[in-house]
Chains A and B, each alone.
Chain A
């Protein structure tokens, strides 16, 4: 992410914060919607900016002999964490801690299910070493 993109995202965040605070006195639900949309827009900018890092890590990983599936699992888990975080933070901001906790639980289960093949690999290797 270049510095100009960072300036844009910082500006968007500040302006959205001021608008949300102003709206909260009159229509609190609109303040929540403004903060949610601001979070979504900023996150889109962040994910676009992280693309060169992802590609670089993939290039470095290809030089090692490990199967590419391991890195895929890592990146998928990272993506799931991003999405879960935005929903969880929005729920907590709205005062709905219970809903946020359930969404967080869903994210944890999704990461666990995605990394299941990795666990199986580790157990197979350990069993091979012990036998």
Chain B
């Protein structure tokens, strides 16, 4: 369901935040940055499917083809 997507994205955000803090404390700031970027890219990929769904729904309801 679409509502699960929001929870999944929030969970990924929290995990990335925690990993970011831990890696920074462990003197590895570059890996922390890469982890953050990987998280953002993963969330963007998950979002694109949902945005496509929105566009399809709007197109079909309002006859926008």
The chain A residues found within 8 Å of chain B, CB to CB, are 8, 12, 15-16, 19, 23, 26-27, 29-31, 33-34, 36-38, 40-41, 43-44, 47-48, 50-51, 54, 72, 75-76, 78-80, 82-83, 86
Interface size for B (C-beta < 8 A) is 31
How many Å lie between the Cα of A61 and that of B9 in the bound state?
A: 43
Partner of A37 from B5, B36, B61 at Cβ < 8 Å: B5
- Name the residue in B9, B39, B40 with the highest tally of chain A Cβ atoms < 10 Å from its Cβ: B9
Beta-carbon nearest neighbor of A36 in chain B: B47
A50 to B61, alpha carbons, bound, how many Å?
8
Do most interface residues of chain A lie in helix, strand or loop, or is the interface mixed? helix
Give the secondary structure class of B's interface.
Answer: helix
Which B residues contact A (CB, under 8 angstroms)?
2-3, 5-6, 9-10, 12-14, 16-17, 20-21, 36, 39-40, 43-44, 47, 50-51, 53-55, 57-59, 61-64
